[in-house]
Chains A and B, each alone.
Chain A
Amino acid sequence: MAKQLGFHINSSVCANCKACQIACQDKNNLPTAIRWRRVVLYGGGNWVEKDGRWMPNGVFSYSVSFACMHCEKPLCVEACPTGAMVKRADGVVLVNQDQCVGCRYCEWACPYGAPHFNEAKGVMTKCNFCEDLLAQGQNPACVDACPMRAIEFGDIAELRAKYGTLAEIEPLPSAKITQPHAVVTPHRNAQASGKGTGKIMNLPEEL
């Protein structure tokens, strides 16, 4: 079987510092509004008054860093009318901007919000797994930037052997839709996708 690249996301140690996101924007020279990798903060619970004191009641939060999942069933590739969105032999999903018509159909199709439209250029852009760094034998920028070593990359089969096959915790969508190539080590308070009681806590401009 051909190698398929993927990410391991260790949500149990992620500190929500967003170094991965900034490293990605810097390396790929992205406009401030475009973030190929994003860190989402998910939380919930409330406070209740008991005997004149306010007590936490199931208060929790945790972070998940995510980017394009370079899916096994990439709905973006299926939807794209021009063939600009392609899945390479190593599993990396790329958008060929010379081919892109800017219809944004891939954006509708992707459950991870991974394709990001560049208004100025009129074409789609997305995480390319730092293909140029990979070609030089280096790591993707997000992986090296993380102070908690919460992001790892490699052959998905090896990552799964090491970390299991979990690929969905809130607020990530169900892995059934596109079969993402990612494994998640859940935070101890992680909730199952679709069954969460919390909500995304980031400010809208953070995501």
Chain B
Amino acid sequence: MNVREWALITFTILAQMSVGSFIVLGIVHYFVVRKSGEKQADELSDRALLAIGPVLALGMAASLLHLGNPVNAYKAVTNLGTSWLSREIFFGVLFAVAGAVFAVMQWKKIATFTVRNVVAMIAAVIGVALVYSMSQVYMMPTRPAWNLVTTPVSFYATTLLLGVLAMGAAFVANYWYVQRKNPGCASEQCVLLRDALRWIAISSIVLLGFQFVVLPLSIALMAASGAAASAAMFVGEYGVLFALRLVLVFLGAGVLGIFAYREAQNAGHERMLSILAYSAFAFVLVGEIVGRFLFYATATHFGLQ
């Protein structure tokens, strides 16, 4: 592994995390508006929304490090007709622009609630397209370990899992920020925090179950489709790292998820709940980074090299 490959790992993980966060935040916001009104919903999610931008920007900056000749980077969207890499960059930039437009509108409360909703929906759809084109970049006949339906499926799984847990951590951070600025006024926010984290815990457990179906399936498909050497690496050469990845995601999304769910039932446990939300996110983030490392490290080339 070298700088180039770490650049790709950083870019794909951060870009997927920001798409996932954007979608999760939108869903949470929608439900909170219905329950407690726009003001409380904005108080819960506006600062989290602003955190997504820098994450995406950092990811895109990292992607430049994998280029041998970055001065030509602006030319990389010129082959949209056939190149998935062009499309990936195109949707990446489009998602950044649409997300930024929405963030500014939401922050400054420009236009009506409905108009802002439409803009957010458009940005979310672009985000979904971005993750799809990211996966298609790897679908080529010369890379049999990647050329499988599990590539897009697992990219989406990572997107949602990281999105859910990143937003869990963001809500917690926001809660303490609000508490510090204005102690006492946050009782409604306190209820919302617990509600949101309960749902986040449930979703992360469900997504974990999904990951644990997709991962073995992807290795089975590799073994069955001309990438047996790659499949073997997951139990041989990279067995320890693969086990680490499974354990980290299991602990983060599963075990800590269950604890977080229980802690979120009762008021007064916010401190414990916060620790759980932060560590669940950290565990899963590291687990997914290891997973993406393995994705690149185990891909064998078909043909002559």
| B-binding residues in A (CB < 8 A) | 40, 66, 75, 77-84, 98-105, 108-113, 117, 119, 121-124, 171-173, 177, 207
**A98 closest partner in B (C-beta):** B72
Question: In the assembled complex, which residues on chain A have CB atoms less than 8 Å from the CB atom of B137?
Answer: 105
Question: In the assembled complex, which residues on chain B have CB atoms less than 8 Å from the CB atom of A84?
Answer: 75
Known contacts A101-B70, A177-B142; decide if A113 and B82 are in contact (CB<8 Å).
no
In the complex, what distance in Å separates the CA atom of A102 from the CA atom of B69?
A: 5
A82 B72 Cβ-Cβ under 8 A: yes
In the complex, what distance in Å separates the CA atom of A122 from the CA atom of B73?
A: 12
The residues in B between 62 and 117 inclusive whose CB is less than 8 angstroms from any CB of A are 66-70, 72-73, 75-79, 82-86, 89
Residue B141, interface by CB 8 Å: yes
B67 A111 Cβ-Cβ under 8 A: no
Other A-B pairs beyond A100-B68, A103-B68, 20, CB < 8 Å: A79-B83, A79-B84, A80-B85, A81-B76, A81-B78, A81-B85, A81-B89, A82-B75, A83-B75, A100-B69, A101-B68, A101-B73, A101-B76, A102-B68, A105-B83, A108-B140, A111-B142, A112-B303, A172-B304, A177-B303
Question: In the assembled complex, which residues on chain A have CB atoms less than 8 Å from the CB atom of B47?
Answer: none
In the complex, what distance in Å separates the CA atom of A207 from the CA atom of B76?
A: 30
Known contacts A101-B69, A101-B70, A122-B68; decide if A109 and B142 are in contact (CB<8 Å).
yes
Known contacts A80-B79, A80-B83; decide if A104 and B68 are in contact (CB<8 Å).
yes
Interface residues of B, CB < 8 Å — how many?
Answer: 29
| A-binding residues in B (CB < 8 A) | 4, 66-70, 72-73, 75-79, 82-86, 89, 137, 140-143, 301-305
Closest 8 CB pairs of A and B: A102-B68, A111-B303, A122-B68, A173-B303, A102-B69, A81-B85, A81-B86, A101-B72
Known contacts A66-B304, A81-B85, A104-B68; decide if A111 and B75 are in contact (CB<8 Å).
no
Question: In the assembled complex, which residues on chain A have CB atoms less than 8 Å from the CB atom of B143?
Answer: 108
B86 A173 Cβ-Cβ under 8 A: no
Tell me the interface secondary structure of chain B in the complex. loop
Question: In the assembled complex, which residues on chain A have CB atoms less than 8 Å from the CB atom of B83?
Answer: 78-81, 105
B79 A40 Cβ-Cβ under 8 A: no
**A119 closest partner in B (C-beta):** B68
Question: In the assembled complex, which residues on chain A have CB atoms less than 8 Å from the CB atom of B75?
Answer: 81-84, 99, 101
Closest CB in chain B relative to A77 CB, distance in Å: 8
Question: In the assembled complex, which residues on chain A have CB atoms less than 8 Å from the CB atom of B84?
Answer: 79
Question: In the assembled complex, which residues on chain B have CB atoms less than 8 Å from the CB atom of A78?
Answer: 82-83
Closest CB in chain A relative to B73 CB, distance in Å: 6
In the complex, what distance in Å separates the CA atom of A70 from the CA atom of B76?
A: 23
**B146 closest partner in A (C-beta):** A108
A102 B67 Cβ-Cβ under 8 A: yes
Q: List 27 A-B contacts (CB under 8 A).
A: A75-B140, A80-B79, A81-B78, A81-B89, A82-B76, A82-B86, A83-B75, A83-B78, A100-B69, A100-B72, A101-B69, A101-B70, A101-B72, A101-B75, A102-B68, A104-B68, A108-B142, A109-B142, A111-B141, A111-B142, A111-B303, A112-B303, A117-B68, A121-B68, A121-B69, A122-B68, A173-B303
Question: In the assembled complex, which residues on chain B have CB atoms less than 8 Å from the CB atom of A103?
Answer: 66-68, 76, 85
Question: In the assembled complex, which residues on chain A have CB atoms less than 8 Å from the CB atom of B78?
Answer: 81-83
In the complex, what distance in Å separates the CA atom of A177 from the CA atom of B75?
A: 27
**A176 closest partner in B (C-beta):** B141
Question: In the assembled complex, which residues on chain B have CB atoms less than 8 Å from the CB atom of A105?
Answer: 83, 85, 137
Known contacts A99-B75, A117-B68; decide if A75 and B304 are in contact (CB<8 Å).
no
Question: In the assembled complex, which residues on chain B have CB atoms less than 8 Å from the CB atom of A207?
Answer: 305
Question: In the assembled complex, which residues on chain A have CB atoms less than 8 Å from the CB atom of B141?
Answer: 75, 111, 177
Closest CB in chain A relative to B122 CB, distance in Å: 24
Question: In the assembled complex, which residues on chain B have CB atoms less than 8 Å from the CB atom of A173?
Answer: 302-304
Question: In the assembled complex, which residues on chain A have CB atoms less than 8 Å from the CB atom of B79?
Answer: 80-83
**A111 closest partner in B (C-beta):** B303
Closest CB in chain B relative to A40 CB, distance in Å: 7
**A177 closest partner in B (C-beta):** B141
A81 B77 Cβ-Cβ under 8 A: yes
Closest CB in chain A relative to B61 CB, distance in Å: 15
In the complex, what distance in Å separates the CA atom of A110 from the CA atom of B303?
A: 8
Known contacts A82-B72, A83-B75, A123-B68; decide if A75 and B142 are in contact (CB<8 Å).
yes
Question: In the assembled complex, which residues on chain B have CB atoms less than 8 Å from the CB atom of A113?
Answer: 301, 303-305
**A114 closest partner in B (C-beta):** B304
In the complex, what distance in Å separates the CA atom of A109 from the CA atom of B77?
A: 18
In the complex, what distance in Å separates the CA atom of A123 from the CA atom of B303?
A: 22
Question: In the assembled complex, which residues on chain B have CB atoms less than 8 Å from the CB atom of A119?
Answer: 68
